[in-house]
Chains A and B, each alone.
Chain A
Amino acid sequence: QVQLVQSGGEMKKPGASVQVSCTASGYRFNSYGINWVRQAPGQGLEWMGWISPYNGNTYYAQKLQGRVTMTTDKSTSTAYMELRRLTSDDTAVYYCARQTGVDVVVVAARVFDYWGQGTLVTVSS
């Protein structure tokens, strides 16, 4: 069965960086895009960006441009999200989510059908 297992919670100081991993199993990793979505405490869902494990193409939310990097390691079926220059506003649960296709050109491929369990990142001095 499809599973996305994320790394454990992190506590970081302002200005630091954090990397969250998302290890996929139960399907062909290269064939489905991975999105990252975060949720601040008590708030809604904020899309952060997308990566194609097939060719490494990425697309980031405009507000995070320059601070976020998404990568994949096909050998371990793992996606990574690194966020730099953290502030308290980055305190949130971070989710990886598989989309129903590898690319974003195909509209029907943009639905998020499986999600990781979430990783709490707390930024505090």
Chain B
Amino acid sequence: IVMTQSPATLSVSPGERATLSCRASQSVGSNLAWYQQKPGQAPRLLISGASTRATGIPARFSGSGSGTEFTLTISSVQSEDFAVYYCQQYNNWPQTFGPGTKADIK
């Protein structure tokens, strides 16, 4: 399954809402995860099951969607949220990652 993400880069100002999209080449149900990666750090799990936040993830992060279209929303972007975000489908084995969306400061 091929995963695509848009936009490649998202420029946002602190406090703004950010919407990141992920599309699968075929249905993955709700078996979609989102990861955040900051420079020089390992990825961190944000969301699994398309909409379930991982332990310790702030409520400003939310996920939605099913089938082939998914969205990660950051309701009010904080300075620590500027990072690259990857989606991953795990419905089919082996699982596959999207190319990432970089959220940077506007």
Contacts and interface: CB of A to CB of B under 8 A. Distances in A.
Are chains A and B native binding partners rather than an unrelated pairing?
Answer: yes
Interface of A: 37, 44-47, 50, 59, 61, 95, 97, 100, 104, 107-108, 110-118
Nearest to B97: A45
Dominant secondary structure of chain B at its interface with chain A: loop
Given A44-B100, A95-B43, A113-B54, A104 B49 contact: no
A44 B45 CA distance: 15
Contacts, number: 54
Contacts of A115: 42-44
Contacts of A37: 43
Contacts of B42: 95, 115-118
Given A115-B44, A118-B42, A47 B95 contact: yes
Contacts of B49: 108
Interface in B10-31: 31
Contacts of A107: 31, 90-91
A110 to B, nearest CB: 4
A111 B97 contact: no
